[in-house]
Chain A
Amino acid sequence: MRHSLRLTTIGTAVCFLLAGLALAEITRAQGQTIKASNAWARRAPAMGSGTGHMDKTEKMGSMDKMDKPDKMGSMEKMDKMDKMGGAGNGAIYVTLSNSSAQADSLVSASSDVAQTVELHEVKHDGGVMKMRPVQAIPVPAKGKTELKPGGYHIMLLGLKQDLKPGEKVPVTLKFERGGEVRVEAVVK
Chain B
Amino acid sequence: MRGLRASGAITIGIVCLLLAGSAGAAQFKGGLLTPPRPATDLALTTQDGNEFRLSRERGKVVALWFGYTYCPDVCPTTLADLSQAQQRLGKDARRLRIVLVTVDPERDTPARLREYVSAFGGAFTALTGPPERLAEARKAYGVVAEKRVVPGTAATYLFDHSAFVYVVDPAGQLRLMFPFGMSVDDMVHDIKLLLQ
Contacts and interface: CB of A to CB of B under 8 A. Distances in A.
Given A43-B76, A89-B70, A156-B72, A150 B160 contact: no
Given A129-B160, A131-B158, A89 B77 contact: no
Interface residues of A, number: 41
Contacts of A90: 72
B16 interface: no
Interface string A144-176: 000001100101111000100000000000000
A180 interface: no
B187 to A, nearest CB: 15
A91 B73 CA distance: 6
Interface in B144-187: 144, 148, 150, 152-156, 158, 160-164, 179-181
A91 B107 contact: no
Secondary structure of the B contact surface, majority rule? loop
A127 B162 contact: yes
A42 B72 contact: yes
Contacts of A162: 119
Interface in A128-143: 128-133, 135
A184 interface: no
B77 A149 contact: yes
A120 to B, nearest CB: 7
B154 A82 contact: yes
A162 B76 CA distance: 14
A112 interface: no
Nearest to A162: B119
Given A127-B162, A153-B72, A42 B181 contact: no
B109 interface: yes
A75 interface: yes
Contacts of B180: 124, 129, 150
A176 B125 CA distance: 44
B77 A150 contact: yes
Contact of B179 (A79, A91, A127, A149): A127
B158 A127 contact: no
Interface of A: 42-45, 47, 58, 75, 78-79, 82-85, 88-91, 115-116, 118, 120, 122, 124-125, 127-133, 135, 149-150, 153, 155-158, 162, 188
Interface of B: 69-74, 76-77, 80, 106-107, 109, 111-112, 115-116, 118-120, 144, 148, 150, 152-156, 158, 160-164, 179-181
29 contacts: A43-B119, A44-B72, A44-B76, A45-B119, A47-B69, A47-B112, A75-B154, A83-B106, A83-B156, A85-B107, A85-B109, A85-B112, A88-B69, A91-B72, A120-B72, A124-B163, A127-B162, A127-B163, A127-B179, A129-B74, A129-B161, A129-B162, A130-B148, A132-B150, A133-B150, A135-B152, A149-B73, A150-B77, A157-B155
